[in-house]
Amino acid sequence: MGAPLPMANPAQVDRRAMMALLSMEVTVRRLFVLIGVLIGIPAGLVLGVGSAGAEPPLRLADRVTDRAGVLSPEKVARVQDAVEQLRAENGVDLFVVFVRSFDGADGQEWADETARRSQLGTEDALLAVAVGDRAYGISVADGFPIDESRVDEIRTEAVEPRLSAEAWDGAAIAMADGLRSSGGGGFGLGLAVVGGAAVVGAGAYALHRRRRRAAEAPPAPDLPPDEFADVSTADLAYRASAALIEVDDAVRTSEQELAAARTHFGADAVAAFAAALDQSRADMMRAFTLRQQLDDDQPEDERATRAMNAEIIRIAAAADDRLDEQVEAFDALRGLEARAPEYVGELRTRLDGVRARLPQVDAAWEALQLRYAATALEPVAGDVDRARELLTAAEAELVEAQESVAGSGPAAAVVAGRAAEDAITQAETLLDGIGRRESELADAAEKVPAARAEVQMDLAEARALSREAIAPVVARAEAAVTAADQAAAGPQPDPIAALRLLVEAGTALDQGIADAREDAERDRKAAAALEQAVLTARSSVSAAEDFVATRRGAIRTRARTRLAEARRHLEQAGGADPVAALREAQHADALAREALALAQADVSQWSPPGATSSAGVDLAGLVLGGILSGATSSYRGHRRGGGGFSPGSFGGSASRGRRGGGGRF
């Protein structure tokens, strides 16, 4: 009998089978191209989109691999978060890969071969998607902890529909979430396969609309930290729906109120209300758009659902509050209408009182101009003239209001009265500002001496530190003190500017002093540790020197290089900067210890020339080297073993069977 045939392991058999299938696919494709050329059909039409971007099965380096370029960095992060959550909660590792094409292979076969090449284990799963082929495959091991029927349910009900809608990240997240919640199913989404050209056309149109909505819809907002943290997802959705109904009703009611108010009070009186209504209506429509995203046939994961419902609540609340503010204003307007004559009379009394203040304010303003610099008064310059203009406008509005009370009616009187009231209020604010500025300048002038004294103390402390880094801060502070003295002196000072300069100088000095003290403390600690560090480094260098000197015949270049570098850093440890010197000493110590370890390894691998056993030792060769001993030292060859790994899943047999599923989408 002949010698038995060598047995091929299962991995080799699977690999050969895969290569045979791929070879057959290439042959068939070439045959189709040839037939197309003979009958006049372009090769691109024979092969469809062609093999551009085709990827053979590969070894995965990361849990999320996007060779097709369909995931933005944000989407990659979301998929990675879902994968990490699955791993943390279930101990299952999911790998996801997107490519342009499976290079003619079946999705299941491509996924299985990639899983083998990546050495995935029994608790690892792989989702592979060829976006150009519109094909995918899911591969899990025979010993995968989740039941096969459950994996099929996740594949058909959660993953495939999202792939059909080109929600690539959603498909990967749905796969991770489905595996994580492996007890029970029900994703609420399935695709029925029906025949007929008309039905296919309608389905294609609906799919196009879904894709267009997904592209045009605004991105789901992130949920702020801790907001609604104690609210369940279902309750959050209920609150969002209630908020939408409430704001929709508020907008409709406000539209009716605006129409009535415009007729009653005139367009000018309701201009602010109209602008607020337009803004609230736009916000409401944005909230309804988010709701439509939640209600369409492209499901969101729980995180996105919560974020979108929370955003709906925020948008609706802001829009509703904006309308409430306007309603309150119009309620006040209606209240004034009922007492229009009294309201106009009160405004007349108020206007006369403000006018009576003008001589006093004029005198105060003239005194300020004589006492202080123009820069000190610049913020209120022109305020008195502006107040006079406003009071004149208020007078005209009040005359119109009084005429309306007697003629056109209380509504017109109130509108004119409100305009007069606003003008009077602004004039009062401007006149009050003159007196306020006088008080502020007096207060600043009182505080300047104390602030200057404090800065001088800080300057003395900073100069005493004698550190180079603080010198620029000291120079700037000295210049600020000089400028403050100039601003505070003279017949027309600017005490506010002087105080501002001193405060800024003091703040800069405080920070500079704190930094200088921190640097000094760091130097003190470094100087205290330097002596011990140098001693340790010198000891390590000496030990390495002695070892190399007594065994130099066996020591190679790497150990000698490290030792030379250790000597160099030890010499630099004598510098004036204690922090840098400490760093050099520590580096010298580390290099010396590394040199000693390398030298010891060299000696352990050294063997005397021509030796056949370890019975004798060539001391001359070991100590003096190969030249003086008459021969060249040799080293025992060492090879390090190695192997492949996949991040997070060590182990796994390349020959184990795999299962899963795949198909077109």
CB-neighbour burial class of residue 358 (10 A; exposed 0-12, middle 13-18, buried 19+): middle
pLDDT digits (tens, 9 = 90+) for 511-558: 999 988 888 888 888 888 888 888 999 999 999 999 998 988 889 999
Q: Give the whole-angstrom CA distance, residue 658 versus residue 83.
A: 21
DSSP state of 223: P
Q: How many whole angstroms separate alpha carbon 365 and alpha carbon 34?
A: 99
Q: Are 98 and 68 in contact (CB under 8 A)?
A: yes
pLDDT band at 31 (very low <50, low <70, confident <90, very high): very low
β-pairing, 135-141 vs 634-635, is: unpaired
User: Are 492 and 373 within 8 A, CB to CB?
Assistant: yes
Cα angle for residues 110, 116, 118 (degrees, 5° grid): 100
* Coil vs helix vs strand at 23: helix
Q: Per-residue pLDDT tens for 415-459?
A: 888 889 889 999 999 999 999 999 999 999 999 999 999 999 999
In this prediction, residues 92-106 reach a mean pLDDT of: 91
d(CA 589, CA 84): 41
- Half-sphere exposure of residue 576, counting CA atoms within 13 Å on the CB side? 0
Mean pLDDT to the nearest integer, 591-599: 93
Residues 4, 51: Cα–Cα separation, whole Å: 43
- Amino acid 327 reads V
Query: What stretches of 92-245 adopt beta strand conformation (E)?
Result: 93-99, 124-130, 135-141
Packing angle of the helix pair 10-39, 107-117 (nearest 10 deg): 140
Over the stretch 487-513, which tens digit does the pLDDT of each residue have? 998 899 999 999 999 999 999 999 999
The answer to whether the beta carbons of residues 254 and 326 sit under 8 Å apart is yes
Question: For residues 156 and 195, which has the higher predicted lDDT (pLDDT)?
Answer: 156
Q: Is 124 helix (H, G, I), strand (E, B) or coil?
A: strand
Element spanning 493, H or E: none
Contact yes or no for 552/623 (Cβ under 8 A): yes
pLDDT of residue 350: 92
User: CB burial class (10 A; 0-12, 13-18, 19+) of residue 236?
Assistant: buried
Averaged confidence pLDDT in the chain: 77
Distance CA 241, CA 257 (A): 24
Question: Do 524 and 577 touch, CB atoms closer than 8 A?
Answer: no
Closest to 107 in 3D by CA, of 82, 88, 77, 128: 128
Nearest to 53 by CA among 121, 149, 130, 156: 130
Cα–Cα distance measured from residue 444 to residue 441, given in angstroms and rounded to the nearest whole number: 5
- Residues 83 and 114: beta-carbon distance below 8 Å: no
Rounded-to-integer distance, Cα 501 and Cα 505, Å: 6
pLDDT at res. 466: 77
**Cα 568 from Cα 585, distance rounded (Å):** 10
H helix runs in 62-106, sequence order? 73-90
The two structure tokens encoding residue 652: 């796994």
pLDDT band at 573 (very low <50, low <70, confident <90, very high): confident
What is the structure's pLDDT at 265? 63
Q: What is the DSSP letter of 639?
A: -
| Nearest-angstrom CA–CA distance, 381 and 89 | 68
CB atoms within 10 A of CB 64: 21
Question: Is the pLDDT confidence value at 261 over 80?
Answer: no
- Detail the DSSP E strand segments found in 166-221: none
Cα angle vertex 603, ends 598, 608, to 5°? 150
**Cα(376)–Cα(440) distance, rounded to whole angstroms?**
10
Mean pLDDT of 34-59: 51
Q: Mean pLDDT throughout 633-657?
A: 37
Tokens of 224: 């702020």
Lowest mean pLDDT among 23-27, 267-271, 441-445, 476-480: 23-27
Scored b (16 or more CB within 10 A) or e, 587-625 reads bbbebbbbbbebbbebbeebbbeeeeeeeeebeebbeeb
Residues 473, 509 contacting (CB under 8 angstroms): yes
More confidently predicted of 604 and 644: 604
Q: How many residues does the chain have?
A: 665
Provide the pairing of β-strand 658-664 with 135-141.
Answer: antiparallel
Whether residue 155 is predicted with pLDDT greater than 70 in this model: the reply is: yes
Residue with the two structure tokens 């590792």: 93
Least confident of 149-153, 210-214, 394-398: 210-214
